[in-house]
Amino acid sequence: MLVYLPIAEVSTNLFTLLGVGAGVGMLSGMFGVGGGFLITPLLFFIGIPPAVAVATGANQVVASSISGVLAHLRRKTVDLKMGTVLLIGGLIGSSLGIIVFRWLSALGQIDLAVQLSYVIFLGIVGGLMLQESLRAWYRTKKSGSPRRKLHQHTWVHALPFKMKFRVSGLYISVIPPLLVGAAVGVLSAVMGVGGGFIMVPAMIYLLGMPTKVVVGTSLFQIIFTTAYTTVMHAVTGHSVDVMLAFFLILGGVIGAQFGTQIGTRLKAEQLRILLALLVILVCLKVATDLLIRPDELYSVRVLGGF
Amino acid sequence: MRALWLVLLLLVALPARAGEIVGALSQNRVALTASFSGSEILIFGAIRRTAEDLLAEAEAEAAGGVDYDVIIVIEGPRQPIAVWRKDRRAGIWMNVDSVTMASVPSFYAVATSGPLNQILSPEADAAYRISARQAIRAEQVGDGSPQALLFAEALLRIRERSAHYMALDRFVHLDRDILFRANVRLPANLTEGAYTTRMYLVQDGEVVNQFRTAIFVRKDGLERWLHELAYEQPLLYGFLALAIAIVAGWGASALFRLIRQQ
């Protein structure tokens, strides 16, 4: 059954959209990630124009993060103060990202920029995650592992403009969280992702936040940054497709329910290895598309549209 | 001697044998709604002739004259486009140069009663801009470089593959040289606007007569409303998108929690 998407101006199979939504929703339920990094490349693949895919991807992340953030707020595992600092950075970053996005679209290089960012970020994050989780898995197999320090003092703790973050138990400069927030904001605007895959490791390893508040706080920041990105893309590029988002979300919420149940049956270390492998797989897929000679060297773009 | 007579007879008969083509469409409105998956349009019509025409024709036919042929062209609204070419830079395939074309049809279908290059002379094709190649001729010339030609060829190739440009040879059925009809399938991915439909009566490689009408394609229902909102009230539309995301995301998980508790 075909549906006509009014903004993308293409007809797509309804079940393909629901399937993409459900598949990504299942993975996001399993691993607790937003899934934006999977949905945007998949939308490219089914023929949605890149500008629409990125803007609608951001909108979908809002939907897939909202129930998570509410659950974390109830459990009080959100550092609202840290979240707000990250968010201020995020809004600045997203605004910059939108400008960069418009500029690259005008240059005709937006596809390349989006693909390259996918390769670089997914490659780095996937590699680090795999290394980390393999080491953790190895440690759990060898009993009697050495205790880890609460957090380590690094160069981050020597910067000025310090602030107390009570929930995280930190007293650090606001510069690193602002920068982390801004970086994630840029990614949200250019790649149509929430940016959890880069923010969570940054919060743990760079800011030294306790793991228990990391997910809730990152979701809190992501939801506002992607909401802002969605509205900005709608205003500057008219590229958010409500119809497309609706079907993706519909598939996504159903898939997420199954994903959560599968996720509870797997061990945390196994889950992290699987997620790392998935991230690397997406990275390799995008990379081969860039390296292999395409069948058609030419492409047609309608001007004045996006 | 007899051959000479024949040629003379033909020359005398030709100007008088201008038939007239009259056509119609099974529908002149196409609504793009959520369930739109392409549309089949029946184009039909007749070739009108006076008694003298018929008489002259009968004589010509006896003398081995040529039959009528019909060409139908459906042209979608013109758009400005850019054609990009990829090349390898530092091991990566990326867009390196582009040619912008100010006005090319978003859709172009040519249905004929016989192979186009056999029933129409290249001169007539150029004069009436019938084939897709002629329709984008102004762009094809570009700055006159051979490169502009390559980009135009790429445009034709890509649009033909996506079924936005179609050469439908022998899709027009001619009935006793009077009635004609053709079924043209419009694809699902249509641009809004007026699709001009030209019908040409062709004889001996030359266009004898033509008829013009149009199909109006527009978004309808919810799609129309959403599209207008997105372009006229983008801020409101952005908030609508957010509201849907929040309600759907939160509502669905609340619903599932409720189901699980029971």
C-beta atoms of A234 and B230 within 8 A = yes
Q: Give the model's pLDDT for residue B110.
A: 92
Q: How many Cβ contacts (< 8 angstroms) between chains A and B?
A: 184
C-beta atoms of B250 and A67 within 8 A = yes
At B141-173, the pLDDT tens digits run: 666 677 778 888 888 999 988 888 988 888 888
Q: Does B213 reside within a domain? A: yes
B179 and B71 in one domain? yes
Q: Which residues of B touch A243 (CB under 8 A)?
A: 34, 223, 226
B123 and B40 in one domain? yes
Q: Give the model's pLDDT for residue A13.
A: 86
Q: Give the model's pLDDT for residue B144.
A: 66
Q: Does B55 reside within a domain? A: no
Q: Give the model's pLDDT for residue B197.
A: 92
Q: Give the model's pLDDT for residue B119.
A: 87
Q: Which residues of A touch B155 (CB under 8 A)?
A: 298, 300
B193 and B162 in one domain? yes
Q: Which helix (H) or strand (E) holds B47?
A: strand B39-48
With a CB-CB cutoff of 8 Å, which residues 230-289 of chain A face chain B? 230-235, 238, 240, 242-243, 245-246, 249-250, 253-254, 256-257
B201 and B75 in one domain? yes
Question: Which among A59, A65, A293 is the nearest to B241, CB-wise?
Answer: A59
Q: Give the model's pLDDT for residue A194.
A: 79
- Per-residue model confidence as pLDDT tens for chain A (306 residues): 778 787 887 778 889 899 988 888 888 777 767 777 788 888 877 878 878 888 898 888 888 888 778 878 888 888 888 889 989 999 999 999 989 888 888 787 877 888 888 888 888 888 888 888 888 778 776 655 444 555 555 666 667 777 777 777 777 888 888 888 898 888 888 887 878 777 887 888 788 888 778 888 888 888 888 899 899 888 888 888 988 999 998 888 888 778 777 777 777 777 778 888 888 888 888 888 888 887 788 888 777 654
C-beta atoms of A67 and B231 within 8 A = no
Q: Which residues of A touch B85 (CB under 8 A)?
A: 297-298
With a cut of 50, list the residues of chain B below it in pLDDT: 7-17
B178 and B231 in one domain? no
C-beta atoms of A293 and B93 within 8 A = yes
Helical segments of A238-299, H only: 242-265, 268-291
Q: Which residues of B touch A246 (CB under 8 A)?
A: 244, 248
Is the ipTM here above 0.85?
no
B141 and B34 in one domain? yes
B104 and B232 in one domain? no
B141 and B72 in one domain? yes
Report the CATH number that the domain containing residue B177 is assigned in CATH. 2.60.40.3880
Q: Does B253 reside within a domain? A: yes
Total number of domains constituting chain B: 2
C-beta atoms of A298 and B86 within 8 A = yes
C-beta atoms of A298 and B230 within 8 A = no
Residue of A nearest to B244 (CA): A246
Q: Does B170 reside within a domain? A: yes
The token duo for A184 is 């994630």
B121 and B139 in one domain? yes
Which of A288, A298, A301, A302 would you mutate first to test chain B, the one with the most B CBs within 10 A?
A298
Question: Which among B36, B219, B250 is the nearest to A70, CB-wise?
Answer: B250
Task: Name the amino acid, one letter, at A111.
Answer: D
Q: Does B11 reside within a domain? A: no
Q: Does B1 reside within a domain? A: no
C-beta atoms of A246 and B154 within 8 A = no
Host domain of residue B33: 20-48+67-219
* DSSP code string of A76-142: T---HHHHHHHHHHHHHHHHHHHHHHHHHHHHT-HHHHHHHHHHHHHHHHHHHHHHHHHHHHHHHHS
Query: Which 3 state secondary structure label does DSSP give B46?
Result: strand
B164 and B213 in one domain? yes
Which pTM value belongs to this model?
Answer: 0.74
Q: Give the model's pLDDT for residue B123.
A: 87
CA distance A206 to A211: 12
- C-alpha pair distances (Å), A228 with each of A5, A185, A237, A242, B241: 23, 10, 14, 15, 11
Widest Cα–Cα separation across chain A? 64
B203 and B235 in one domain? no
DSSP code, position A267: -
Q: Give the model's pLDDT for residue B11.
A: 44
Q: Give the model's pLDDT for residue B187.
A: 81
Q: Is A155 on the interface with B (CB under 8 A)?
A: no
Query: Could you tell me which residues are beta bridge partners of residue B22?
Result: B46
- C-alpha pair distances (Å), B245 with each of A3, A63, A101, A246, B224: 19, 4, 23, 7, 21
Q: Does B54 reside within a domain? A: no
Q: Does B186 reside within a domain? A: yes
The alpha carbon of residue A165 is apart from the nearest alpha carbon of chain B, in Å, by 28
DSSP code, position B187: P
Which of A4, A17, A61, A257 would you mutate first to test chain B, the one with the most B CBs within 10 A?
A4
Closest by CA to A249, choosing from B248, B53, B198, is B248
B240 and B110 in one domain? no
